[in-house]
């Protein structure tokens, strides 16, 4: 009597090889783990938002500080009954994301890292730390340098007969947009380093591309900068030129090296 062939388990119960937890974890186990980590991130976001709601007046004063560098009496105006509650909600949400970001990054790493090879793990942590460092540096540069200069120019622009009244909604959108996009632009060295590490573009090609890079950076600076004057545009474009050069240097250091004796392609 011939032995019956072993039945294969259903797809959702098959072990998932090469991921964290080893080959004993099924797809359902991975989905459960993902669900648990998403719940933790959501709880961290709720707690961070509640903390930001409690201190919303202090955070609002922090956001008004760049405008009050040259205009100490600067205040905002509410043009509708819902403007204030909307501003408080934005402060709570943005503040919650910032406060919860370490927990979110940690949960993401704990889900992804065990499935990577040792060589990939070696580069993941420095890459994440570098991305966070450049993001924080860009946000600080926008807050301490670009916003005071831009707001001073905009608030002094025009005749003295024009009374400046800025709505709280417009001001919040203006400040958060500048801080976000400038912080994002500071990720350029990390992106170029990763591209060079993957071998998508060689550092020599990046150097040949410098004319187009200058044009793109100038256009981006004009879009990010809220003022038409060249002074504030150069405040954004100048560091971006330096960041591009730093990104080329990162790409050169991280580019894959050819084994000795191997002929060039």
Calpha distance 238→18 (Å, rounded):
45
Please write down the long-range contacts of 222-226, taking CB distance under 8 Å and 24 or more positions apart: 224/178, 224/181, 224/182, 224/185, 225/146, 225/150, 226/150, 226/154, 226/174, 226/178
Looking at the predicted structure, is the pLDDT value of residue 205 above 80? Answer: yes
Structure confidence at residue 53 (pLDDT): 93
Q: What is the pLDDT of residues 23-59, one digit of tens each?
A: 456 778 888 889 999 999 999 999 999 999 999 999 9
More confident site: 232 or 86 = 86
Structure confidence at residue 175 (pLDDT): 92
In eight-state DSSP terms, residue 35 is H
Looking at the predicted structure, is the pLDDT value of residue 7 above 70? Answer: no
In the chain, the percentage of residues whose pLDDT exceeds 90 is: 40
Q: What is the pLDDT of residues 54-87, one digit of tens each?
A: 999 999 999 999 999 988 888 999 988 889 999 9
Structure confidence at residue 227 (pLDDT): 74
Looking at the predicted structure, is the pLDDT value of residue 98 above 50? Answer: yes
Looking at the predicted structure, is the pLDDT value of residue 14 above 50? Answer: no
More confident site: 115 or 77 = 77
Looking at the predicted structure, is the pLDDT value of residue 11 above 50? Answer: no
Confidence of residue 3 (pLDDT cuts 50, 70, 90): low
More confident site: 158 or 195 = 195
- Virtual CA dihedral for 5, 9, 14, 17, nearest 10 degrees? -10
Span 136-140, average pLDDT: 93
Contact by Cβ (8 Å): 131, 191:
no
Strand stretches in the chain, DSSP E: none
CA atoms within 13 A on the CB side of 42: 6
Structure confidence at residue 140 (pLDDT): 94
Looking at the predicted structure, is the pLDDT value of residue 235 above 80? Answer: yes
């Amino acid at each position: 009597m011939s032995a019956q062939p072993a039945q294969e388990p259903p797809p959702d119960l098959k072990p998932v090889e090469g991921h964290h937890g080893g080959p004993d974890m099924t797809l359902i186990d991975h989905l459960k783990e993902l669900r648990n980590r998403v719940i933790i991130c959501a709880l961290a976001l709720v707690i961070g938002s509640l903390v930001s709601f409690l201190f919303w007046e202090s955070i609002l004063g922090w956001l008004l500080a760049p405008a009050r560098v040259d205009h100490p009496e600067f205040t905002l105006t509410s043009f509708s009954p819902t403007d204030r509650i909307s501003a408080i909600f934005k402060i709570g949400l943005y503040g919650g994301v910032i406060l919860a970001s370490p927990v979110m990054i940690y949960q993401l790493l704990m889900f992804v890292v065990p499935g990577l090879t040792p060589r990939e793990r070696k580069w993941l942590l420095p890459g994440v730390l570098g991305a966070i460092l450049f993001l924080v540096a860009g946000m600080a540069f926008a807050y301490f340098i670009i916003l005071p200069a831009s707001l001073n120019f905009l608030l002094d622009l025009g005749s003295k007969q024009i009374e400046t009244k800025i709505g709280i909604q417009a001001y919040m959108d203006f400040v958060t947009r500048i801080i976000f996009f400038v912080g994002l632009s500071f990720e350029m060295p990390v992106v170029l380093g990763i591209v060079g590490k993957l071998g998508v573009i060689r550092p020599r090609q990046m150097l040949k591309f410098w004319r187009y890079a200058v044009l793109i950076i100038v256009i981006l600076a004009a879009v990010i900068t809220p003022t038409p004057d060249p002074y504030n545009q150069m405040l954004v474009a100048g560091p971006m030129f330096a960041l591009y050069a730093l990104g080329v240097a990162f790409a050169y250091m991280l580019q894959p090296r050819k084994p000795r004796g191997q002929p060039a392609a």
